[in-house]
Structure 1
Amino acid sequence: MAPEEDVEARVAALQEEVAQLRQAVASHAVVDQAIGVVVAVGRLRPEQGWEVLREVSQRTNTKLREVAEYVVQGAHCRWLPDEIHRALTDVLARVRSASAGR
């Protein structure tokens, strides 16, 4: 491989890595915001907010980032897709009752 091609390949690989890191940072921010919404609405501890989002993601077979985006948007427009809404309601009720029993 010529030195110019090696440099071009390395630049392309670094650009791809930067794009992936930017996406990861953005996803992390949305997940953190969604945890805050769940904590506030559900009157939960932050670690419980994380568990609620994770469980809703698993129950609905929806990526965690997507669940987080729905939750954050839903806080503003007061709408969630039915499947996400049902799962979130069920999981919040279960977590709240488990916390009350302690």
Structure 2
Amino acid sequence: MHDELPGAVQQPDTHRDRVRQLENKVAQLEQAVDSHAVIDQAIGVLVAVGRMTPTDAWDVLRETSMRTNIKVRHVADLVVTWGESGRLAADIREQLSMRLGQRPTA
């Protein structure tokens, strides 16, 4: 295999592969940004409802995720929907009630 010379034109297959890699990376980054936004929104709901710090709200999300074996992103979706509609699945509601009830109040 020969080393590429500086300024050499890439082979078409290599160029296409690189474009595909970059497209995949962009898609992953877009998904991460969307996921982060939903988690931040859920933290906001918990801060308002539970009168807690964002750090405590993150802990509540994370603990609820672990106890229910549901991904944090999905728990966050459910919490945001709860903030909008007032409806929340029973298992998540039970865990959130327990977690929110364990937090010290101001």
Separation (CA, whole Å) in 2 of partners of 1:21 and 1:45: 27
Give the alignment's Cα RMSD to 1 decimal.
Answer: 1.4
C-alpha displacement at 1:76, in angstroms?
A: 0.8
In the alignment, which of 32, 35, 39 is matched to residue 27 of structure 1?
A: 35
Say if 2:68 is the partner of 1:60: yes
| 1:20-99 matched pairs, under 5 angstroms | 20-95=28-103, 99=104
In the alignment, which of 14, 31, 47 is matched to residue 6 of structure 1?
A: 14
Unaligned 5+ segments in structure 2 are 1-9
Unaligned 5+ segments in structure 1 are none
TM superposition score normalised by structure 1: 0.90
2:3 counterpart residue number: none
| Percent of aligned pairs with the same amino acid | 46
Separation (CA, whole Å) in 2 of partners of 1:91 and 1:71: 13
Q: Mark the structure with the bigger radius of gyration.
A: 2
**AA partner of residue 66 (structure 1):** H
The size of the alignment, in residue pairs, is 97
TM superposition score normalised by structure 2: 0.87
- Larger helix proportion of the pair: 1
Q: Which runs of 4+ in 1 moved over 2 A?
A: none
